[in-house]
Structures are given as structure tokens and as C-alpha cells.
Amino acid sequence: MDLELIARTTAVLVSASIVAALLRRAAPSTRHFVWQLAIVIVLLAPLLIALAPTITVPLVPELPRVPEGIVLNAVPEVRSQEHVTQQNSAFGTFGTVGGVGTGAVLVWFGLCWLLSGVSVWRGSRPAPAQWLSEARTLGHRMGLKKPVRVRQTMREMSPHVAGFFHSVVMMPPSAASWTAEARQAALVHELTHIKRGDRRTQAIAQLACAIYWFNPLVWHAAAGLSRERERACDDEVLRFGAKPSAYATLLLDLARKPRSPWTPATALSMARPSAIEGRVLSILADAVRTPRRSTRWLVGFGIVAVTTTILGAQAAKPMPAPAMPAAKPQPIVRPSMVMAFDEPVATPPITGALVQALGDADRQVREQAAIGLAITPGAEVIDPLLNALKDPDSQVREKAAIGLAFRRDPKVVDPLLIAIEDSDSQVREKAAIALGASGDSRAIGALTKATRDPDSQVREKAVAGLVLLRLRR
């Protein structure tokens, strides 16, 4: 596999990780969308690189050649040939190992899908009529167009979705003794998986893991996809009216039971012990967030823009520079083309609209406007971001602190020194990073104090800010 392709797909996954971290308070389905889009881009990277818009750059003037005999002081052609032979041998070995690893992972996932189908055929029996009736009623309320099959497993295990070609809801025998509310909560969770097409998404993620099995970031993305998938289904159960305490108790009871060896890795299990703690805390916090279409569009546009930059940059084609007099050589990049985030630029109409949106009555509108101004270059957005740093909503203040981290104007330091004392830990965390990036010595005392903050994330960012401050100075 091309090392440049590996490097660029890794950059895409790192960008997706940053976006998912910034959207920590968004709906789980939005973060799931981020991971899903990143995995699809990684899989289609070879095609996207070919289709990405080219970037034309001037040709660097050729430097005078040094005689090869002076550099090599030996037979240059023989050494060059040996070097090429060694490189080809290394790439050939890497390609062989990569192909064997991909084949092994594909065989493993294929076996898991086969076991998932066998578990429906040999490891279950028809479910009671009452369960089928409940599933049909819930499926109709959820907008499922086709009736879903429900079967009862032979052994005790967590409810899950299995099957090879068709998805089947598998319920344990103990569900007969559950309350109607608990059984319906489990059915809603599994039916949501089917409605969202999570098994299809999981298959795509497993294909990416097989191709890029040597890249830990791909496995991290697949794990993030699985985690946000379960939390999105939990949100749907709570929106259907389930009590958070009763639903959390059901998940804990299921996680404590021993797992059956007949639950393959490809089954969408409702309560895997490895991820139960975070889900229970989120459920008990009653922090169900409805996904906003505008946020998904903004996130999707941002990831596509970043991906185009990452994958399309290598498509640059050199273009010979026009002949110029030898006495007046032209620079490759004119100084006017180099612009920092806080240098003055002409204010486009969209920037003015974003500044005006910061005064909107709805906090979601102000938050999106702050995100837009955070990634807008130019010194004219500093004052609006400083005003947003005083917003009554903590999420707007957090996004403003992120935007100020890109600025080098000394006047941002004093407001950030106030923000690092904010009541919200997320605002303090972003202010610590922004102070570190400022390179201003006034930030040393505040960052040192923040290393004793009650929140571990703030302490971590304060230490990183001190290191960054030392590098900037």
C-alpha cells in the first residue's frame, strides 16, 4: 500500500477525532455521523484522490546540479541502483505482510457474520406471540416499512440484532419475566439499530479495519462508531418514554450476566460490559439531545472541506513559471499571499452575518455563529469573539475560546485570564489552550493555578498550555 495514502488517510482520521471531541456535547447520532463519514472517506480515499480538484503551483527554479562523482566519490550508477533495489524490496515485503493481514482480518469478520447467521438458525426458536405483537406495534410507531422478525435465544444473553442477510431481533428467555416496559425498551433499542441501518454501517467499518488493519486510528474510529451507535439508540429509547433509572437498571442487569460464546462480534449487542459505564452515566444524567439537521450539515461540510484539502493537495501539478529577467527574479509566493488568522483582511458579507447572529436569542444559533467566526481569518472577528466569551451560555463561550486560540493579538489575553476562571470546565479547558498558544508571559500564573483545577481535563490542558507557552516564547 502507498505510504502517502496511509499518511493522508491517517490525517483524515485525526481530523475526525478532533471534530468528535469538539462535539462532545452534541447528540450521539451527530458524532456517529462524523465517524461514519470519516470511515467512508478512508475507504474511498484512492478514488477521491483521483477526483479531487488539482492545485496548480509555479515550478521551483532548478538549482545547479552538483557533479555526482563529487558527492558519491564512487561508482554513482551502481549505488543508485542498489538503493532503488532496496526500496523496491522493502515495499514488496510491506505489501505482502499487508495483504496477509487484510486476508486474516477479513476471514475473521466473515466467520463472525457466519456465526451470526447460524445463531438465528440453530441457536434460537420462535418468540412468543406477545413479543411479536409488541415488536410490530413499536415498529409501526417508529416508521419501519417492513415487519421485523423476533426470535428467542436458547441460552441466556443480551438482546441483540443478528442474522446473515436479514436482521433479526434476538431476545433472551428471561425477557418473559421482565416487565412490559423493560421488554419494550429492549425492543425499541434493537429496532432502532435496524431502522438506522447499523449493521450495514458496521460492515463498512469492519471492511476498513481489514484493509487498514495496521493503523490503530482505524480501529479507534470503528470503536467510536460502535460507542456512539449504542448511545444514539439509548436516546431513542428515552424519547419513547422509558424512565432513565429503570432503563439504566436493565442495562446493568444485562451487563452483569455472563456472555454466551454464541454472541459473535458482528452482533449488535445491547449491553456489552466494556462500554456500559459511560452509557449509564449519560442515561442517568437525563442529557438526551435531539440531533439538529443544521449541525449535521455544518459538520458534514467541514469534514468534506478538510478532506478535499488533505486528499487533493497531493494532486498538485507543477506549472513552468514565466520567463523573467535574471536581474529581477520573482519569488515563488508573494508576501501578500501569506496571511495569518489575525491579520486584517476585507470583511466578506458572510462574516458580517455571523457577527450579527451572535446577538440572536437562540443559544444554538449563537453557538453555530461562534464556530463560524472561530475558523474565519482576520482581525475583525476578534472583538465579536471577545464579546461571545461573555455569553450567558457556556457552549457559546467555549467556542469563542477555541476561536481566540488562533489569534496573536495581545488584547485577547486579559479576557482569557478571566475565562480560565469560568464556572464551566469546558470553557476553562479551551481557555487554557488559548493562553498557551498566546505566548504571553501573563498567562504563566493562570496556567500554573489551573494545574490544580478540580477537573482533570482542565489540569491536562493547563500543563499542555505551559509547554506550548514555553515553545511560543
Examine the pLDDT at 342 and tell me if it is beyond 70. no
| pLDDT at residue 274 tops 70 | no
pLDDT category at 54 given cuts 50, 70, 90 is low
Express as a percent the part of the chain with pLDDT over 90.
28
The per-residue pLDDT for 68 is: 47
What pLDDT score was predicted for residue 257?
73
Q: For every residue of the chain, which 3-state class applies, written as one string?
A: CCHHHHHHHHHHHHHHHHHHHHCCCCCHHHHHHHHHHHHHHHHCHHHHHHHCCCCEEECCCCCCCCCHHHHHCCCHHHHHHHHHHHHHHHHHHHHHHHHHHHHHHHHHHHHHHHHHHHHHHHCEEECCHHHHHHHHHHHHHHCCCCCCEEEEECCCCCCEEECCCCCEEEECHHHHHCCHHHHHHHHHHHHHHHHHCHHHHHHHHHHHHHHCCCCHHHHHHHHHHHHHHHHHHHHHHHHCCCCHHHHHHHHHHHHHCCCCCCCCCCCEECCCHHHHHHHHHHHHCCCCCCCCHHHHHHHHHHHHHHHHHHHHHHHCEEECCCCCCCCCCCCCCCHHHCCCCCCCCCCCHHHHHHHHHCCCCCHHHHHHHHHHHHCCCCHHHHHHHHHHCCCCCHHHHHHHHHHHCCCCCHHHHHHHHHHCCCCCHHHHHHHHHHHHHHCCCCHHHHHHHHCCCCCHHHHHHHHHHHHHHHHHC
Do residues 443 and 417 lie in contact, with contact meaning Cβ atoms separated by under 8 Å? yes
Of 196, 205, 198, nearest to 162 (Cα)?
Answer: 198
Q: What is the CATH number of domain 340-472?
A: 1.25.10.10
In order of 145, 195, 199, 306, the CA distances from 140 in angstroms are: 8, 11, 20, 40
pLDDT band at 205 (very low <50, low <70, confident <90, very high): very high
- % pLDDT > 70, the chain: 76
pLDDT in tens, 91-122: 455 556 667 888 888 898 888 888 877 888 88
Task: Of 3-17, 176-190, 260-274, 361-375, give the range with the top mean pLDDT.
Answer: 176-190
Q: Measure the CA angle with vertex 73, ends 71 and 74; round to 5°.
A: 125
**Distance in angstroms (rounded) separating the CA atoms of residues 149 and 245:** 29
Report the C-alpha gap between 421 and 450 in whole angstroms.
Answer: 8
Q: What was the pLDDT predicted at 177?
A: 92
- Which is higher by pLDDT, 128 or 75? 128
- Cβ-proximal residues to 392 (8 Å cutoff; 6+ apart), any chain: none
pLDDT value for 316: 47
Examine the pLDDT at 30 and tell me if it is beyond 60. yes
Q: What is the pLDDT of residue 288?
A: 60
Instruction: Tell me the C-alpha distance between 367 and 220, whole Å.
Output: 28
Quick check: 185 pLDDT over 90?
Answer: yes
Average pLDDT over residues 51-69: 53
Give the start-to-end residue ranges of the domains of the chain. Answer: 102-284, 340-472
Give pLDDT tens digits for 391-406: 999 989 988 888 887 6
Of the pLDDT bands very low, low, confident and very high (cuts 50, 70, 90), residue 446 is very high
pLDDT of residue 422: 93
Give the tens place of pLDDT for each residue, 213-257. Answer: 999 999 999 999 999 999 999 999 999 888 988 999 998 888 887
